[in-house]
C-alpha cells in the first residue's frame, strides 16, 4: 500500500470516528466520558484528538463541545442564551438558604451538615438539603470518620454542567467574587477562598455498598434505674 493511500485511509477512518462521536453526543441524554465514547469508535482511535477536532469544528457555531469534569457534551453557545429564553422551562428559584448551602458545599466539600451549620452560623433544615439533592447539583459523597459517622456532601457533574465548569478548579476565585460584588472589599488580611477537594478526604470514607446515605440515629441504651434517674436530673434545667 502506498503512503498516500495509507494516509487517505487514516483520514477516512478519523472522519468516520468524528461523525460517530457527533452522533452519539447528540443522541445522549447525559454527558459521556472517554471510555463510553471510545467503545463506539474504531480500534486505536485517538479520542483526545477527535474531541479537539470537533471542538475546533464547532467553535463559533450555535452550539459548542464542552468538557464537564471528565465528560463531554454539546451545549448551546452562551452568547445565544437570550434567543432561547422563551423556550426554557421556568425552574423553581432556590431560596437564599439553599443558595448559601450550595456555595458552602461547592467551596468546602467534602462537608457535613454540622459543618455547614457551623459555617452559616444557623441550623439548616433537611428540606434545604433535599432540594439540592433532588436538583442533582449536590450528592452524598461518603461518611466522615468521626463518632456518629455523619454523611459528607459534595457537588456533582450536573453542578459543573449547569454552571459551565470543566472542573471545581474553575470556581470563581477571590478577585472574581469581589468583582461580581459577592464579597466585601473590607476582608480580613490574609483571607482566602477555600479550595474544594474533589477526591476523597483522608477523614472521609466512601459510602459502603447498601448504605443509602441516611444520617445515623443515636443508639438507645437501657440504663439501670439509678443511673437513668441521675442522668435525667443532670439534664434537667436548674
CATH for 72: 1.10.10.10
Q: What's residue 25's pLDDT?
A: 92
In a domain, 147, yes or no: yes
In a domain, 228, yes or no: no
Percent of the chain at pLDDT exceeding 90: 31
pLDDT of residue 219: 46
Q: Per residue in 182-212, pLDDT tens?
A: 666 666 677 677 777 666 677 888 888 888 7
Q: Quick one: 200 and 100 in the same domain?
A: yes
102 and 196 within one domain: yes
- Count of domains in the chain? 2
- Of 141, 147, 150, nearest to 216 by C-alpha is 150
Give residue 105's domain range: 96-206
Residue 212 in grid coordinates: 443509602
CA distance 195 to 214: 27
Residue 172 lies in a domain: yes
Task: Write the pLDDT tens digit of every residue in 116-154.
Answer: 999 999 998 888 999 999 999 999 999 999 998 999 999
- pTM here? 0.58
d(CA 138, CA 153): 7
Q: How many residues does the chain have?
A: 238
Structure confidence by residue, pLDDT tens digits, 78-124: 888 777 665 554 556 788 899 999 999 999 899 999 999 999 999 98
**Is the predicted pLDDT of residue 54 greater than 70, yes or no?**
yes
Q: Do 107 and 183 lie in a common domain?
A: yes
Is residue 184 in a domain? yes
Amino acid at each position: 500500500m502506498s503512503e498516500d493511500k495509507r494516509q487517505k485511509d487514516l483520514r477516512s477512518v478519523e472522519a468516520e470516528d468524528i461523525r460517530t462521536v457527533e452522533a452519539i453526543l447528540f443522541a445522549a441524554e447525559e454527558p459521556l466520558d472517554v471510555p463510553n465514547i471510545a467503545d463506539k469508535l474504531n480500534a486505536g482511535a485517538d479520542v483526545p484528538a477527535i474531541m479537539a477536532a470537533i471542538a475546533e469544528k464547532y467553535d463559533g457555531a450555535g452550539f459548542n463541545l464542552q468538557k464537564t469534569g471528565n465528560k463531554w457534551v454539546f451545549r448551546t453557545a452562551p452568547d445565544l442564551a437570550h434567543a432561547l429564553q422563551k423556550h426554557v422551562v421556568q425552574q423553581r428559584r432556590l431560596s437564599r438558604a439553599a443558595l448559601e448551602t450550595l456555595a458552602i458545599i461547592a467551596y468546602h466539600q467534602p462537608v457535613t451538615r454540622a459543618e455547614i451549620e457551623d459555617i452559616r452560623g444557623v441550623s439548616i433544615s433537611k428540606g434545604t438539603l433535599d432540594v439540592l439533592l433532588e436538583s442533582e447539583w449536590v450528592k452524598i459523597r461518603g461518611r466522615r470518620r468521626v463518632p456518629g459517622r455523619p454523611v459528607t456532601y459534595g457537588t456533582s457533574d450536573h453542578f459543573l454542567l449547569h454552571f459551565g465548569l470543566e472542573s471545581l478548579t474553575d470556581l470563581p476565585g477571590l478577585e472574581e467574587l469581589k468583582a461580581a460584588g459577592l464579597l466585601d472589599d473590607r476582608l480580613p488580611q490574609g483571607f482566602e477562598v477555600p479550595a474544594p477537594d474533589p477526591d476523597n478526604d483522608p477523614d472521609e470514607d466512601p459510602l459502603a455498598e447498601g448504605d443509602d446515605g441516611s444520617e445515623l440515629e443515636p443508639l438507645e441504651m437501657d440504663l439501670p434505674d439509678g443511673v437513668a434517674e441521675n442522668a435525667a436530673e443532670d439534664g434537667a434545667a436548674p
